Structure 1
Amino acid sequence: MRSVKICILLSLLDFVTSQSATDVKNLLTKLFVTDGYNKNVRPLQDQMQYVPIYLDFVLNSVIEFNEQEESLKTAGYLMAYWEDEYLTWNSSDYNGVDVLFVPQDDIWKPDLSLSNTFAIFKGMGSSYLNVQIYNDGLVQWFPSMIFESTCAVNIKYFPFDTQKCDLKFTAWSYRKVEVEIHKGNKGVVLDDYVKNAAWELVSSTSQDVVTEEAAVVFTLHLKRKPLFFLFNIIGPVLLLSILNIFTFVLPVESGEKAGYSITVFLALAVFLTIISDQLPNNSDTVSLMAIYLTTMVLLSTAVVAVCLIQIRLSIRKETEQPINRFYASIVKLANCLQCRRQMIQNKIKPDKIVKEKSLDDIDDEPEVEAISWMDVVHAMDFLLFWLAAIYTFVCTTAIACSAVSNV
């Protein structure tokens, strides 16, 4: 009994190791010489039928997403499957040879290409890659390359934006009646995916193209990681917006008010330039961040103009240019808001409005405090400080709520 088992085991070992190079050579000769395989003929006995191709996409990494050029660069490879009716054999006739590896250019294959390519338009794979052929006619082809595809960018919620990018693969020379491309069972495979430092892959989908075109589309949903922009752009812009308000805290007597306001204006303009350089030249949508910076630049422009006016007013003399009702009302409003109840009037009154009054009338009048041009400037500082603060708070809150709503 034991000897029988040993004989069976030896026979199985002999069966496993009986495949030789001669068997593979004979099989290749049979398929490509004897049978006269022609790679220019679609792999169907009935040429009136279409060849079904099934595609899966293995994504290795997102190399770069260029918003300025609106392009996406990814690394990965396709898994393509189809049946070739001219490449079938009985494996028992060749000592169990059930799979062959041949160069991809030796057999018929669909001329797959990335139709929405951003760079050079070229076919998939290369001459040194092999395809796997099974004895039942199943062909597996795994062409790998760096894919550079176009991607329309929606910059509205930058830097809290989510982008949707398509990779559309098509059989360029064939119509759908000749070659049909379908999504595979796996779709986008992420087993070997390496995370990107700037973008998070939220999800991925695959779908067939419902047109006369033989194509399949793999869609990547990417979400930007905003931490870099929070520390390097948004944070400094918010701080500059606060500094813009505090221009009205700096007294005009210091002589630095105009220079300070212009410095803040230039800093905001620099950040606006930085944001513009990082975003595409897109007129369909405008970034909320760019809108916010524009509103702050407008405020800073107004602040610079007001500061120059205040400097002009501060050098006026009441004897030469009396304070009119408009400026007096500014001082009065500022005093009211500061809970000051004294009455104000011009230090110098025109002779036209001076009337003779009796001593009793004079005694009944409340005490009046005269005002100067510096009082007007200080009142303007008080009122404009709070107006600028309210303006900044409203703009910041509105833009922040709109941006966070997309998170």
Structure 2
Amino acid sequence: MSLFMPVILILGSTMYSESSFPPAKSISNRLVEKLLLSYNPVLRPVLNETHVTKLEMLILISQILDMNERMQKLITNAWVTLVWKDELLTWEPHKFGGLEYIKIPSELIWLPEVILYNNADDLYRTFLDNRIVKVDYNGSVLWASPVIFHSTCHVHVKYFPFDHQLCELKFGPWQYNGNELIIHGLGDSSIFTSDGEWDMISLSSTNNVMVYPDEPGVPYTDVTYGILLSRRAVFHVINLLLPCGLLTASTALVFFLPVESGEKISFGITILLSLTVFLLLLAELMPPSSVIPIVGQFYAVSMVLVSLSVGVSAAVVNIHHCGQQRSRVPCWVKKWIIHKLGRLIGIRIKRKCKRDYTVYARNKNIKRSPNAKTNDSSQSPLLPRDRDDKENGAILNEIESCGRVLHRDVLKIRQYFDHLKHEEDVRKEWRLVAMVVDRLCMIGYVVCIVGCTVTIIIHIQYDT
């Protein structure tokens, strides 16, 4: 027992010493304790209050998440990097094992109050939340994090969907003026990924010094990033412009439909209703503004022309059925519309400007001459020669009476068919007038549509 006593005493003393004294602290822990021993994260970290803190801001635009034209709101995914000098977080690396930087939670130190001025979120708050910051031995602090910004963007819809939009992100301190904090910014678009609708043409940054009415004479600094976006118009061309173009082109078929089909006016009204539906879809995308996009103007012009085509179709139907009133086409109408204008559009008609209805008038006004009656029985081979003149005269009178009745019935039949032919000729003439008017209106419609389309294209190209 006495032989094991020294060993037991040595082991017991060793266990007592290990449990009584804490382990040695790491270099990082000792450094953090030293730096934050008397550090106040509420106050601006300067050794002299006259010193100005310079804040460098770098934004890398990663993606456009959403562009709400109606609400005029832009949602952007960005990588934000902030660098500033903290004069209270400095040390000599050789005194801490050559340690040149440490990473600590951001809530332990002072953070610059930087907010998005044109914020479109529910709350105005700084986007700097709890993150790990990197602190260098010379006091340089780096804060970096991905941030989603909700900002306002004044959308110019005049050239939708072939438009470019310039949206701004304005950052700056709210409480620190230019004598306390100066912010400078840079932008980078090298990591941008298109969402399929928007391409970023450029990203610019502008450093500003502003004086606001609430504090006259006190400068405030800010940095404004300009994001120039170009819309990919393929989606809207296929879903908005192409249907409108097809419906507008289909309206020309209204002038080719025959009146007898009974679908001339209903077809035009159907196209008008279809254009109205697409115009409502366009109105849901655009903000309520006094500026009407060119696409909306094209829709409006198309609806006006389609409405006029429906009115013209009603007039053509009316002209087509004018022949039922049995009134002839005026001579000047036949001269200028049928012969001259019809010749211009390729309709060849034999010219009949005079009202030459000789056969119809002759058959209508024929009267038997009174000299046709004769009692010369000797000239009629049908009379028997063995009878006296009195008997032959009676027979001749009877034959003559039957002939007059037969001739009168034949004339009535002929006049009836001539009258039918006359009415059919009148109807054909009015139908011909209606056809010429229909073709002329179709040509005018096509010219108007082509002219409006070319004007819009030239206007877009000129402004671009």
TM-score of the aligned structures, taking structure 1 as reference length:
0.83
Alignment of 1:100-249 (within 5 A): 100-120=102-122, 121-127=124-130, 129-183=131-185, 187-211=186-210, 212-249=219-256
Quick check: which has more Rg, 1 or 2? Answer: 2
Q: Distance in 1 between matches of 2:106 and 2:305?
A: 64
2:174 partner SS: strand
Cα distance per residue 1:200-258 (max 9 Å; x no partner): 11111111023233211111111001111222221221111111122111111211101
Alignment of 1:239-278 (within 5 A): 239-278=246-285
What is aligned with 1:401?
A: 458
1:315 partner SS: helix
Q: Which has the higher strand share?
A: 1
1:174, 1:214 within 8 Å by CA — same for their partners in 2?
Answer: no
Alignment of 1:8-27 (within 5 A): 22-27=26-31
1:50, 1:180 within 8 Å by CA — same for their partners in 2?
Answer: yes
* Structure 2 counterpart of 1:397, one-letter code: V
* Structure 2 counterpart of 1:88, one-letter code: T
Q: Distance in 2 between matches of 1:235 and 1:138?
A: 57
Q: Distance in 1 between matches of 2:231 and 2:93?
A: 52
TM-superposed CA distance for 1:100, in Å, is 1.7
Q: Distance in 2 between matches of 1:274 and 1:86?
A: 59
Change in Cα spacing, 1:170 to 1:321, as seen in structure 2 (3 Å) is farther
My pick for the range that moved more, 311-320 or 192-201, is: 311-320
* Structure 1 counterpart of 2:445, one-letter code: A
Q: Distance in 2 between matches of 1:55 and 1:281?
A: 36
1:58, 1:76 within 8 Å by CA — same for their partners in 2?
Answer: yes
Q: Distance in 1 between matches of 2:354 and 2:74?
A: 69
What is aligned with 1:13?
A: none
Structural RMSD (CA): 2.3
What is aligned with 2:376?
A: none
1:53, 1:179 within 8 Å by CA — same for their partners in 2?
Answer: yes
Change in Cα spacing, 1:239 to 1:322, as seen in structure 2 (3 Å) is same
TM-superposed CA distance for 1:170, in Å, is 1.1
What is aligned with 2:294?
A: 288
* Structure 2 counterpart of 1:373, one-letter code: W
TM-superposed CA distance for 1:197, in Å, is 0.8
1:168, 1:218 within 8 Å by CA — same for their partners in 2?
Answer: yes
TM-superposed CA distance for 1:398, in Å, is 0.8
TM-superposed CA distance for 1:272, in Å, is 1.4
* Structure 2 counterpart of 1:374, one-letter code: R
Give the paired residue count.
362
My pick for the range that moved more, 337-346 or 114-123, is: 337-346
**Identity, % of aligned positions:** 26
Q: Distance in 2 between matches of 1:21 and 1:380?
A: 101
Q: Distance in 1 between matches of 2:192 and 2:25?
A: 37
1:202 partner SS: strand
Change in Cα spacing, 1:23 to 1:331, as seen in structure 2 (3 Å) is same
Cα distance per residue 1:117-175 (max 9 Å; x no partner): 11122211322x11111110101111432111111111111111011111111111111
Q: Which has the higher helix share?
A: 2
1:314, 1:374 within 8 Å by CA — same for their partners in 2?
Answer: yes
What is aligned with 1:357?
A: none
1:125, 1:145 within 8 Å by CA — same for their partners in 2?
Answer: no
Cα distance per residue 1:63-102 (max 9 Å; x no partner): 1111111111111231111111111111111111221212
1:378 partner SS: helix
Q: Distance in 1 between matches of 2:246 and 2:78?
A: 43
Change in Cα spacing, 1:307 to 1:108, as seen in structure 2 (3 Å) is same
* Structure 2 counterpart of 1:255, one-letter code: G
What is aligned with 1:42?
A: 44
TM-superposed CA distance for 1:383, in Å, is 0.6
My pick for the range that moved more, 205-214 or 55-64, is: 205-214
2:126 partner SS: coil
TM-superposed CA distance for 1:48, in Å, is 2.1
2:175 partner SS: strand
Q: Larger relative contact order (C-alpha < 8 A, sep ≥ 6)? A: 1
**Structure 1 stretches lacking a partner, 5+ long:** 1-19, 350-368
Q: Distance in 2 between matches of 1:209 and 1:326?
A: 76
1:37 partner SS: coil
1:203 partner SS: strand
TM-superposed CA distance for 1:405, in Å, is 4.2
**Structure 2 stretches lacking a partner, 5+ long:** 1-23, 211-218, 358-424
Q: Distance in 2 between matches of 1:262 and 1:217?
A: 51
2:279, 2:299 within 8 Å by CA — same for their partners in 1?
Answer: yes
Q: Distance in 2 between matches of 1:244 and 1:42?
A: 72
